[in-house]
Each structure stands twice: as structure tokens, then as C-alpha cells.
Amino acid sequence: MTDHRPHPHPHGLLRVSEPGEGPYAVAAGPDGAVWTTLVHAGAVARVGPDGQVTRYDTGAPDCGPSVLTTGPDGALWFTRNRDHRIGRVTTSGEMTAYELPTPGSGPFGIAAGPDGALWFTAMHTDRIGRITTSGEVTEYPLPVTGAFASFITAGPDGALWFTLNQANAVGRITTGGDITLFPLPTPAAAPVGITAGPDGALWCVEIGAGRIARITTAGTITEFPLPDPGCRPHAITAGPDGRCWFTEWAANRVGAITPDGRVEEHPLPAAAPEPHGLAFTPDGTLYTAQESGHLTRLVPAVTPDPTPTPTPTVPPRTGGARRPRPGVPGGGPGTRGA
């Protein structure tokens, strides 16, 4: 564990690591702090309310801490993508790691479920996993192969929803393990981030198509093209202002989208490129993880009036064992360039 004081920056930048160590995901902790994974350093970092940064090393520099979330037990849980474990860190910095039963699984996304457990994606073995707070793991195979399961989130319907980056689909799994897939209408959309929106639907980013998709719990999909189709949206989260906020990795921006598809974009400081994960704190501040070694702070306006974008609606196409049309590589979540 190491402590250091923040370097203030007029653009809301806070340095949390050395360049190249890669802040990747970010989450608001139960202790009032902001937590982030240092994917290229095998560590997580805590930013306290006073701005003090504390770093906690896993002891495995190459384990690849990726996505993290607050668990029902008051600890932070995170995926270790490169050594195939699920990590847990208490707010005081105690580390635990749980090895997964399937070799080479490559866990990536993780979210707290409605059943008191954590749910995660196994990127390399086409599985969705469940881990209890005591470390008991159950895995559920997907009905497709080579799908590259990516982010996962708890839905408003009591199920977990996830993206399949290379199967070009969004999936739903019940807490009992029943899986349904919803193919996206745009070929090679390569979905990555997903979140439950404030409107009772699911929202995901399409890194390969430069679009944001809205999926109802019945599976109806609406896609909204972004102004810059090459911006490569990566992560998405619901905001306190009734919009969903997302990162544009290739364009160094964050954006917001209303439930009816109106888009607003904000450039990030040029000194801190490569935005990945993002999260809101209870006071409405948005934190974005930049692979340059920074977190960026932004306090959004609450009354947007952006220009509407087209809203083509596509009927739902559901499937269990039926494989959707595959996507194409987009750098891939868990790697530089996703």
C-alpha cells in the first residue's frame, strides 16, 4: 500500500498512477471514495474524499485488474483478466483472490446481482459466472462460441444482462441460469459496455458501429448513431440527470444520451487521452478513468438540449441456441484500444 497527494489540475484531472499503468474501470465505493483498477500494474487505487490516493497491489503485477464493482458485503470486487481470478478488496485494503474452475477463462465484466452474489463474464471460455461473497463459483455456458462476453449489469427485471462483443448480441441470464440472446440489428456492432438506464431499459455501446443501443426487457432494440461513427464508445453508465453517459475512446470525449436519443458530447483534456470506464458518485460528479494515469472529474449540467438523432426501431429477435451473426474485432474489451 502506498499513499500520495493528488496533483491538482485546472481541468479536473487527478493523477492516480504512473503513465502506462492504466486506470481502466472506476466505481464509487461504499466508503465515500472512488476506486479504480490499474490494469497494467496489477493494482487498484482508492481516491478518498480529500483527494488522497492510496494504492493497493495485488501481489501479481500481470494479473490485469479490469472491471470492478461494489459488492453486497461492502467490499470492492474486480476481475483479474490475465490470471483468471476474481479479486476482492476491503475498504481498508485487505486483498483476496478466488481462482476460477475453468482454465483460461479471462474474466472481464462484473456486477452485483439481485441474489446477493456477484456475476461476471468469462471472455475466453464463453461462460457467465456467479460467485458468492464466500467465494463459491458457479458457471453457466453460453449457447454460442467465440462470443467474447464483455460487460454485465443487473437489469430492472431481476436478471443479469451482458454484451457479446464478437457474437454481436446482448444476452440475458436469470439468477437460475436461463440464457436468452438478442442479436443486434447492425452487423459488426461489437457491443462492449452495458448499463440499466433510468427509463427501465438496458443501454449498451457499439464500439464497432459508433452507436448506442437501447434494449427493452422484452428485447426490442433501438439504435442511435453517434455524430462521429469512428469515436469507438467503450463504457456506459446511468446518470442522476436521467441520461446515460458513455466514453468515446478514440475521440477522447464523454457523451450523454437521453431516453429519446438526443446526444451531447464533452471533450476531455488533451493531456489525458484514452477514456475507458466511468462512474457517478452520490454527489453527481462523473469520474472517468484515463489510461494516461488520470481520473477526470466532470459535474454535468442537468438540463440538456442537444439535437435529436434518428431513432430507428427494430423488432426483437430472440434466441437461445441460435447463434447471432458474428461481429468483428474492435480491439476488444480488456485490451488497449477497446
Tell me the C-alpha distance between 94 and 34, whole Å. 17
pLDDT band of residue 12 (cuts 50, 70, 90) is: confident
∠ CA(46), CA(163), CA(103), 5° rounding?
75
Which residues does the annotation mark as catalytic?
Answer: 276
Residue 22 has pLDDT above 70, yes or no: yes
Q: In the predicted model, what is the mean pLDDT of residues 229-257?
A: 97
**Grid cell 458518485 in the structure block, residue:** 281
For the chain, give the number of residues: 338
What pLDDT shows up at residue 150? Answer: 98
Lowest mean pLDDT among 135-144, 258-267, 269-278: 269-278
Please report the DSSP string for 245-286 in residue order. Answer: EEEETTTTEEEEE-TT--EEEEEPPTTS--EEEEEE-TTS-E
- Mean pLDDT, the chain, as a whole number? 88
| pLDDT tens-place string over residues 303-324 | 444 444 443 333 333 333 333 2
Residue type, 130: R
pTM: 0.88
What pLDDT shows up at residue 302? Answer: 52
Most confident listed range (12-21, 139-148, 265-274)? 139-148
CB 121 within 8 A of CB 89: no
**What percent of the chain shows pLDDT beyond 90?**
80
